[in-house]
Structure 1
Amino acid sequence: MQMALGLFIFSLPTISYQQLQRQTSWRHVAHNRFDDAPDYQYAGKGEDKFTLNCSISHEIQMLSRIGLDGLRAMANTGKPYLLMEGTGRIYGFVVIDEMNITQTDFFPDGAPRKTEFTLSLTKVRDHKFGQIGDLLTYGVSLLRKIF
């Protein structure tokens, strides 16, 4: 298992990602001063965004079409999902902002041989242990043993 987004598992047999990008911002408010440069005050953390770049070879990854539909269904709910690496690192709860799909190299029936897509996520809150963390950590560790 590479990563879990809620109960969706990114792995080599299903859908794997080749690149993970993370962009974090911090907010600073400018206070104008007379006859001087502005003074800046730290106003807290800004957005934390993730982008997963994925490539699917449909001849090898047979469950990938079902996985893409599952990700789309998850995004349609608008709910936040826990994002967790296969190493056990928990990033927090994220929402799915966008999915861009490119399909190429088609079979005679029109099905793609290759699909590349990016999944854009935004962190909406941190994960706090004691809520559901112990159960999810245990569940993901079991899934890691399976996959």
Structure 2
Amino acid sequence: MLAALGMFVFDTTTLLFDGQSRKRDWRNERTERFGARSASQFTGPGDDKITIKGTLVPGVVGTYSSLSTLAEMADEGEAQILLDGRGNNLGMFTIDSLSEDSDNLIDDGRPRSVGFSIELTRVS
């Protein structure tokens, strides 16, 4: 298991990803001062965003229905717990976007590979 988002497990039978990025922000409010640097006050954590990228290759790794399952989860709008492959709880995340790029279409219109990107935002 690479990770789990709620009940969806990222593995060889569903969807594997080969890249992940995380951007965390903290809020510091600034007040301008004459003749000196701005005063700064820490006001708390900001956004915590994770982007997961990979390629779905049905018949080798993963299934087409896995992307549909993630889209259905996003439609519900519920926050889901995100666990990494070691079982560490990363927090509760919502799915903000799901991008798909289909390549190498075969005669019935199905792609041989689908590049995907999932953007998640921590809500608690």
Sort the TM-score into its range (normalised by shorter chain): over 0.9
Higher strand share: 2
Amino acid at match of 1:90: N
> Could you report, residue by residue, the CA deviation over 1:24-66 in whole angstroms, capped at 9, with x for unpaired residues?
00111011212322111111111100000011111213x5211
In structure 2, what is the equivalent of residue 82 of structure 1? Answer: 81
Which of the pair is proportionally richer in helix?
1
Q: Structure 1 regions of 5+ residues with no counterpart?
A: 126-147
Structure-1 separation of matches of 2:35 and 2:85: 54
CA distance in 1, matches of 2:14, 2:97: 20
Q: CA deviation at 1:119?
A: 0.1
What corresponds to 1:60 in structure 2? Answer: 60
Write out aligned runs for 1:1-147 (5 A).
1-61=1-61, 64-125=63-124
Mapped partners of 1:23, 1:35: distance in 2: 34
Match of 1:138 in 2: none
Structure 2 CA distance, aligned partners of 1:115 and 1:14?
13
Unaligned stretches of 5+ residues in structure 2: none
- Cα RMSD (Å): 1.0
Return the offset for 1:82.
0.3
CA distance in 1 between counterparts of 2:106 and 2:8 reads: 27
Q: Secondary structure at the match of 2:117?
A: strand
Report how many residues are paired. Answer: 124
